[in-house]
Chain A
Amino acid sequence: MYRKEKSIQIKNSASALYNNLGVLRIAPRRLTCFTAVHANVVNMVSASWDGLNYSHRQLQSKEPNVATSTSLIMQAAFCALPSRDLLVVTSQKGIQMYESDGSTMVYWHALDTPETNTVFDVPSKGSNITLADVIEGHKESITDMASECCGGEVCVADLVSADDGGNLCVWKAGEEFSLLNHIPGFDISCSSVKLWKGTAVAGYGTGQIRLYEAVTGILHAEVNAHARWIYSLDVAPFSGLLLSAAEDSLVRVWLLSMSPESHSVEIGHLHNECVTDTQICGAKFCDSDGYAFAVTGYDLSEIIRYTQS
C-alpha cells in the first residue's frame, strides 16, 4: 500500500520524545517543512516537492553552550492557525513561538506548571501575542493536545488534551474555554491524542489505541495495536486514515470510518511498516489525504518517508 521513499537526512538524530515530528505543508511554495527535536535543538528541514532542494535550519533553546536539563525541548509542533502558521517549541522552562520557517522568534512565555493548558491570542501578523487564558483541567502533566477544524460543519468539541494518567479533557473553545467532558484514564499515560469527526483517538503506554466519542466519553473501539509504548498518532482528516507508531519499531496505518447506522466510528487495519531496530518517536502524514507519511526514530538522523504506491 505504501512504499519507502528517499529519506531526508537531518543534522542531528531525533530524541526519544512523544510526537517528535512536525510536518507543515506549504502548497504555495511547493515545499514541506519537517521538524525533529534533538535534546535542546529543533532540526528543521524544508524539502521541495520535486525532491531537489533541501534547506536546513536549527533552532536552539536559549542557552546554547550549556545543555542543562531544563532547556531540553519536550515538543516542537506546527500550529496552523487561520491567519498564519507558527512553530511552537516547548521546554520545561517555557514556550517559544517562531514564524513557521524558524526565522524569527515571535514570543516567549515562561512556564510555572506543566499541568495547565495555556491559551494565547495570536494576531495575524507580528509578535503581539498575548496570554489569553490558563485553563486547568489536568492533575498530571499534559502530554498532547489536538484540535479539529470542522470547516462548514458544526463542531461540538474543539480541543482534546491528554495527560500522563491517561485522562482526556474535551474542551469547547471560545471567549472562554469550557470543559465539555472528562474521560478518565487507567493510570496509563496517554502519549498522543487526535480529534477526528468528534472522535478522540488516543494512544497509550500499553500499546493500545482507544476511540472515544469525545463529548459523551463513550468508548467505541479498543485496539491492542502495539507491543510497546505508543509514541505518536496522526490522522489524515480528509480520508480518515490513522497512523500509529511505537517503541516496538512498527508504524501501522488504519482506516477510521463513521458507520451510518450506528453513528459511531469504526477502525480497520490497512498496513504495517517496520523500521528495523528503531524505537519510533514521531509519525505524521504529509498531507490531509494521507497520501504520504514521514517517520522519525530515536538515534536516527533521518526522516523516513513513505508514499502510497
Chain B
Amino acid sequence: MSLRTLPLVFINLGGEMLYILDQRLQALNTSEDNSEKVMTDIVGAMFSKDFMDELLKPQQLYSHRTLKTVLTRLAHTSIMRLSQASMDKLYELMVMAFKYQVFLCPRPKDLLLVTYNHIDTIREFVQHTPVVVNQVDETHRKVIEVYSSLPEGEFQLLRQTLLIFLQDLHVRVSLFLKNKVQNPNGRFALLSSGPVPPGIDVPGLIRMFDRKGREVRRGEFPTGGSYTSPIREGCFELHGDRVIRLGMNIYSRNHPEETYISKPPSVKQKDDAPNLLAKEELNLLARLMGSMKAEDMAETETGFRINLFMTDGEEGGTGTSGGAEQSSFEVINIQAIQDEQAATQLARIAGQFTEGDKLPESLSTNKGADLLALMDDL
C-alpha cells in the first residue's frame, strides 16, 4: 500500500487536535498569552524541519499506538499537560474527524485540499509568530512539491491505505450526530445527491459509437439520485480558496459546543492489547521522538490545567461500559494536569536524543525496552 501517508496523517490529525485545543482554550477564557503560547509551541514542534523531514521519508503507516504516542509528545512540547485518559478521548475525536474527511473526500486528490485547509487554519493560529509561520510555509511547500505530481491512482491508494487504518472505528461524535453527518450507529452519511466532483460527469448518459467513432445514439437511464454539475476546483497552491470544506475548523469559537463522544453499544473494542510493535515501528517512533524539539521539560511553572470536556461525571475509562445498551452519552471529564512523573519520563527519553546526534541503526534491546515501558506506563 502507500508509503506516503504519514505526513498527511500528522498534519490532519495534528490539525484536528489543535482545533479542539484552541476551542477549549477559548471557551475557558484562558489568557490570550497562554493560549497563544500553547498553540505556537505545538505548531512549532509539529512543523519543525527535522520532524517533517522524518515524516516525509517514504514509509509505512504503523499503528494507532505509535501515532498517539507521538501526538501526546507533541502536545507536551507546550506548557499544557494531558492525562492519558484525556489523550485517549482526544485521539478518538481527532481520528473520527479525520475518518469523516477521508471517507467523504470527493476525489482522492482532494485529500490534499483537506490537508491544506488544516494548514491554512494552523497558519492563522500562529500568525503573530513569524518564525513559526515560516516553518508552516516551508512544510506546505514541501508537501506541494512531494504530492502535486502524484497521479490520481496513487492518491486513491493513499486514501485506501488510510481507510484501512481507520477501519472499524465508529465512535459517535455529538457534533457530527447533531449535524446529521453521522448516524446513530456511528457510520457517516453518504448522499446520492449534490454536485459531482470536478472532472466527473453527472451520471445518467449512455452514448453509443459506430466503428468510425461517431456517436450514433444516446440514451438516459434513471440514476436513483439527484446529482448536479460540479462546482469549481479548489486551489492547490500555497494560498487560495480550497472550495471544499472538509478539514476546516468545525469547532468554531462562536459556538462553543460541548463535544461528547461515545462508542456504539455492543461494539467489540478493537484489540489494543500490547502487540509486539515491529522493530521497524519502534525505529520510527525513536526517530520521530528524536526529531522533535527537546524543550526543557523541567521548567515547572504552575501546571496548566484545562478541562477538555464537561466537568460532571467521573473520568471515563477506555473500555466500553458493559451492559449500557441504550446508552446516553458517556459524559467525559478530561483534565489536563501537570504530571510530574510523565514529564520526567518523557524528558528522559527526549534527553537520550539530543539534536544533531545520529541515532543508532537499530535500537539496542535496552532502548527498545525503555520505549515499550514508557508506553505501558503512560
A269 close to B192 (CB less than 8 A): no
Q: Which of B153, B190, B203, B209 contacts A279 (CB 8 A)?
A: B190
- Shortest distance between the CB of A144 and any CB in chain B (Å): 12
Q: Which of A218, A227, A229, A298 contacts B225 (CB 8 A)?
A: A227
B190 close to A221 (CB less than 8 A): no
User: Given A69-B60, A249-B192, A267-B206, A206 and B199 touching (CB < 8 A)?
Assistant: yes
In A169-215, the 8 Å CB interface with B consists of: 187-189, 205-208
Interface pick from A12-20, A46-54, A77-85: A12-20
User: Given A272-B223, A277-B183, A189 and B153 touching (CB < 8 A)?
Assistant: yes
Residues of A within 8 A of B106 (CB): 228
Residues of A within 8 A of B275 (CB): 65-66
- Shortest distance between the CB of A62 and any CB in chain B (Å): 13
Residues of B within 8 A of A187 (CB): 151-152
Q: Which of A219, A221, A227, A298 contacts B203 (CB 8 A)?
A: A227
Interface residues on A, range: 35 or more
Main secondary structure of the interface of B (DSSP, over half): loop
Is residue B280 contacting chain A, with contact meaning CB distance below 8 A? yes
Is residue B164 contacting chain A, with contact meaning CB distance below 8 A? yes
A187 to B152, CA, bound (A): 8
B203 close to A207 (CB less than 8 A): yes
A119 to B161, CA, bound (A): 27
Residues of A within 8 A of B188 (CB): 277
User: Given A228-B197, A267-B206, A165 and B168 touching (CB < 8 A)?
Assistant: no
User: Given A227-B202, A248-B225, A219 and B163 touching (CB < 8 A)?
Assistant: no
B151 close to A164 (CB less than 8 A): yes
Q: Which residue of A lies closest to B193 (CB)?
A: A227
Q: Which residue of B lies closest to A272 (CB)?
A: B224
In A68-88, the 8 Å CB interface with B consists of: 68-70, 72, 74
Q: Which residue of B lies closest to A92 (CB)?
A: B1
Is residue B213 contacting chain A, with contact meaning CB distance below 8 A? yes
Q: Which residue of A lies closest to B205 (CB)?
A: A224
Residues of B within 8 A of A219 (CB): 209, 213
A289 to B63, CA, bound (A): 44
A227 to B62, CA, bound (A): 32
Is residue B352 contacting chain A, with contact meaning CB distance below 8 A? no
Residues of B within 8 A of A272 (CB): 222-224
A31 to B87, CA, bound (A): 49
Is residue A127 contacting chain B, with contact meaning CB distance below 8 A? no
10 interchain pairs, CB-CB under 8 A: A12-B168, A165-B151, A224-B203, A227-B196, A227-B197, A228-B200, A248-B225, A272-B224, A298-B163, A298-B167
**Which residues of B pack against A, CB within 8 Å?**
1-3, 60-63, 103, 106, 108, 151-154, 156, 159-161, 163-164, 167-168, 170, 183, 187-190, 192, 196-197, 199-211, 213, 219, 221-225, 227, 275-278, 280-281
